Structure 1
Amino acid sequence: MTGHERRAEKKKESIRQASIELFTTMGIRKVTMNEIADRANVSKVSIYNYFRSKDELILDIMKTVCDQILENVKEIVESSLSFQDKLKKVITYKSRGSGIFKGEFLQQLLSHDQAAQEYYEREFKPKSRLIMHRFFQEGKQTGHIAQDIPIETIELYVQIFQNGMERSPLVMRTEQIPEELIRLFFYGLMQR
């Protein structure tokens, strides 16, 4: 990569970060390209040199963040940690570590732009599901997950747990997910 290409990529990243900050605090519809330019310390013309429209910028952010999430989750599940530690990291990452892909902001992104919605449904979700499917298969093979539980049921269970954590003010106020919740996730309510 040449010096010019590095500077251009750095400027694009600055525009992305400024956009994410503004979108998450003000909402996608309220943010103007002028505000993004001001926050990124670039000219409005510079933004349009890289992104033809606000919608193209939103789609670029969506793709960039989705790719980063997939890479991070893949890194966790392919690590040398125990299965239980990997699962704990995946759950906590997906419910709090994925930053902008939580709650209202994700819904704004998906409802604002048809191309972003299509990318999320056709690209991100299948790739994410494949990574998690392989991970849950590993859990079954190593004896951490009961063989008789279908992968789809496990995916639903994890999704319900994550969604509950995202919506809980108590969990969102604490730095770490309470150990009691993790224990309940793994072992349920019944005493063995």
Structure 2
Amino acid sequence: MIVLHDWSALPDDLLDEISKRFTTMKDFVRFGAVCVSWRSTFILNRKRKFPRQLPVMMIPGTKRENSQRFCNLPSERGRRGGIYDFREPVPFKKFVKGSNHGWLVVAQEIGRDVSVQLLNPFLSENNKIELPVLSSLKIKASYDHRHSHHNLKKVVLSHNPSTTSNYAVMVIHGALEH
């Protein structure tokens, strides 16, 4: 006699306990994709922290592909890495200037100014944060604003915006001096 179990009917407290056992975001996302009730547990717990992992490399696509690819390296011997395609996470007229806490720092020239935003391609909602345009920063030295995105040297976040609204964005900006 075969006994079938309805895995989608597991109690919420048990699903919550299971979700705490994952050590990688990849496995946690797969858990959330099983069924509607498991996805609900995933959504309630998606802001939890995971142990530090190897960074993900971004591989630019072509205009024809209209996508970016992300490659993660294997974190343990015997495990495989993976390549993931994301449709249009970074428009082609923008420049990725770095990343921090899983957020990409994206700059775009708008006339003589530069707009900057944080973009998290792994979140389906609340994945963009607009930062002030560079001309609104109090910059001591004057310089040519053309190609100002090249002068955006480093952007660091004090905390992960996915887990708190209390964070600061620090910018090193300026032309190289010889």
Same fold, judged at TM 0.5 (above)? no
Name the structure with the higher strand share: 2
Q: TM-score, normalised by structure 1?
A: 0.28
Q: TM-score, normalised by structure 2?
A: 0.29
